[in-house]
Amino acid sequence: MSTDLGKESDEGSSMATRSSSVLSRYVSQKRRDWNTFGQYLKNQRPIPIAMSHCNYNHVLEFLRYLDQFGKTKVHAQGCVFFGLPEPPGPCTCPLKQAWGSLDALIGRLRAAYEENGGLPETNPFASGAIRVYLREVRDSQSKARGIPYKKKKKIKRISMANDQDDHGASKLPMK
């Protein structure tokens, strides 16, 4: 009888392991990002910063800190390759975090903050200063690489019922 009970608990634990390992990529990244940010705050000197005392300045410092691990070449204004989408050679300009990566990171941290008990009105990741910073990063990176950022336009969807007559034929003009 004890072997059956042990077998059931083994199956239960393996099912729990399977379900936890099936966490979505987004949830896994969000958890990892939240832990990384928490570790960053704990490592602040001279005094570690409690999450409850965190504000948008700490978030901005964290984003700047992450630049040292970036993989996106961002040409300085004086660089001969400034504004070229595909430079013909190497240069000494710094590697930084890509705007899209930072934007996604902030989105995950913003959600994690509220999931971990933070109030939406005190969410440091939702601050206007963070949005301004991200916009500045996006604009400077697009200029440095010669690639203008274009906001995607929303496509208006037309109801199919309005576009067809009673027999299913389209009422849309033919070209």
Is residue 145 a contact partner of residue 74, using CB atoms and an 8 Å limit?
yes
The β-bridge partners of 72 are 96
160: which 2 tokens?
């199919």
Write down the domain spans for the chain.
Answer: 24-145
Of residues 169 and 106, more confidently modeled:
106
| pLDDT tens digits for range 75-112 | 888 888 888 878 888 888 888 899 999 999 999 999 99
Q: Which fold has domain 24-145?
A: DNA polymerase; domain 1 (1.10.150)
Split at pLDDT 50, 70, 90, the class of 132 is very high
Mean pLDDT, range 46-64, rounded to an integer? 94
Of residues 162 and 57, more confidently modeled:
57
The C-alpha atoms of residue 68 and residue 34 are separated, in whole angstroms, by 19
H helix or E strand, kind and range, residue 80:
none
